[in-house]
Amino acid sequence: MEQRAAEIRKGGGEERIEREHEREKLTARERVEYLLDDPTQFAELGLFAGYEMYEEEGGCPAGGTVMGLGPVSGRECLVVANDATVKAGAWFPITAKKNLRAQEIAMENHVPIIYLVDSAGVFLPMQDEIFPDKDDFGRIFRNNARMSSMGIPQIAAIMGSCVAGGAYLPIMSDEAVIVEGTGSVFLAGPYLVKAAIGEDVEAEELGGATTHSEISGVTDYEAEDDEEALDIVRSLVDHQGPVERFGYVRKESAEPAYPADELYGLYPSQGSEQYEMREILARILDADSWTEYKQGYGRTLLTGYARLDGWNVGVVANQRAVVRNKTNHQSQGEIQVGGVIYSDAADKAARFILNCNQKEIPILFFQDVTGFMVGKRAEHGGIIKDGAKMVNAVANSTVPKLTVVVGNSYGAGNYAMCGRAYDPRLVLAWPTAKIAVMGGQQASKVLKQIKVRQLEKKGEELSEAEEEELLSRIQDRYETQTTPYYAAARLWVDAIIDPVDTRSWLSKGLDMVDHNPELERFNPGVIQT
């Protein structure tokens, strides 16, 4: 993971980095580092966006954008910086998706957002995938307007090109800084102006710093270089009003009972093996803070109250050890497979989520789930009804939710355990995560049978060796699509993290969610009973 991340951080490569320096510009990562109070506190989101995508176009490392949370003038901010070393900062489809995710985080959590703009605009060969739809490029400017209405601070520094529709992003922000000589903003560049109306004009005269700071009044501040522009941004953050918080309960922090680096040995090398989830939690949560809810019931899910770095939280976690569910006083109990959600576990989790909303406590979800129980006994017992109850509780829950994908995240289990579709404020994944509609072995066998039947209808028959080769090919493709890198490339998760950093990431997330002083009233609607 770290090796792949280091390669991505090079952006467009050393040659293009040097070209930016020759133009007396900082790179996107250098700008972020200069802006932050402490660069080591930067929590980068979407680093793997675009990973192994658009290879025919030369790739798009990190989606052509550096994005994350970090302190600026003592205030937690979300920073979004175009990487001009990647196709001159042009917008690929994943770039738009990543910027929309940044705005979503800012809007949900009321954190200020800072745009460091340096982009050639939409990547024209893929304009049909970026431009027209609801969640495409134009949604960004709609969000600019909505955030302004919500009172969420937006500051933009124009540090390079800012063209066409992209020109609206910095100018719809509360305040805009432009860098002399390198910053430019216009609806149409010199070539398009020439083509449209026959006028010859240089970029600096058309939309440079002097034009917009002294003639048009479009920008608010002018800077001589990148460093001065970033100094102005820091000053603007320093002059913001009071930080309103919700006030989620936080008491004195206590270290976990055991060292975090033991997580490496506790999680099995093969994700299908058993392990005790309580041992994982004991290396993330504050020592002696765990109060388990319904410990003896619905044992394939763990639910309980705890503290994480002092924050009061509810925890819903898949138990991967095989357990026994007691059915009467005489029997030892029915064996239940770890990682599977049974009716009793779904019922317990739904009730616990209601409790957390009643008490206004954020919820942490730890996913290692292969799905809901199937088969005649499960169906007769109403597994769909109980699963629907849990999904309803998760969907309608209004307290902040944060999700960590530890291992498997399959099918409806992904939904019930607060996957991306259920609006967690952050989705983090360990390198061991696997996200798919079902496990690779089961899926590939189903897909193989479908393919064999299609060939049989055409009068073709496969030998046993050909069937095995087909199965292997399908498995390889399916396994690739279940990796955390495939998920992170498409922003199904916000970050792939080192397991030992789970606690610090969640603590930052809990501090982030506390910036939103509002909480919608909880109303679960019709609950299946």
pLDDT tens column, 128-184: 777 777 787 789 999 999 999 999 999 999 999 888 767 889 999 999 999 999 999
Q: Of how many residues is the chain composed?
A: 529
**96 to 101, 129, 293, 490: CA distances (angstroms):** 9, 10, 42, 11
Q: What is the pLDDT of residue 112?
A: 97
Measured over all CA atoms, what is the biggest interatomic distance in the chain, rounded to whole angstroms? 91
Average pLDDT, the chain: 92
**Structure confidence at residue 124 as a pLDDT band (50, 70, 90):** low
pLDDT for res 116: 97
pLDDT at 269 over 90: no
What's the half-sphere exposure (Cβ side, CA atoms, 13 Å) at 38?
7
Annotate 63-125 with three-state secondary structure.
HHEEEEEEEECCEEEEEEEECCCCHHHCECHHHHHHHHHHHHHHHHHCCCEEEEEEECCECHH
Compute the distance between CA of residue 149 and CA of residue 151 in angstroms, rounded to an integer: 5
What count of other Cβ atoms lies within 10 Å of the Cβ of residue 134?
Answer: 7
Question: What span, in angstroms and rounded, lies between the C-alpha atoms of 402 and 419?
Answer: 9
Distance of CA 527 to the CA centre of its chain: 29
State the pLDDT at residue 467: 73
Question: Residue range 406-411: average pLDDT?
Answer: 94
Residue pair 80/104 in contact (Cβ under 8 Å)? The answer is no
Q: With 80 as the cut, is the pLDDT of residue 470 above it?
A: no
Residue 440 pLDDT:
65
Question: Which residue from 157, 174, 154, 169 is spatially nearest to 228, judged by alpha carbons?
Answer: 157
- pLDDT at 36 > cutoff 80: yes
Check residue 424 and give its pLDDT: 98
What is the percent of the chain where pLDDT is above 70? 97
pLDDT at 345 over 90: yes
- 451 neighbors 135 (Cβ within 8 angstroms): no
**122, pLDDT greater than 80:** no
Chain-centroid distance of CA 513 in Å reads 14
CB contact set of 60 (below 8 Å; sequence gap of 6+): 50, 53, 54, 86, 87, 92, 94, 95
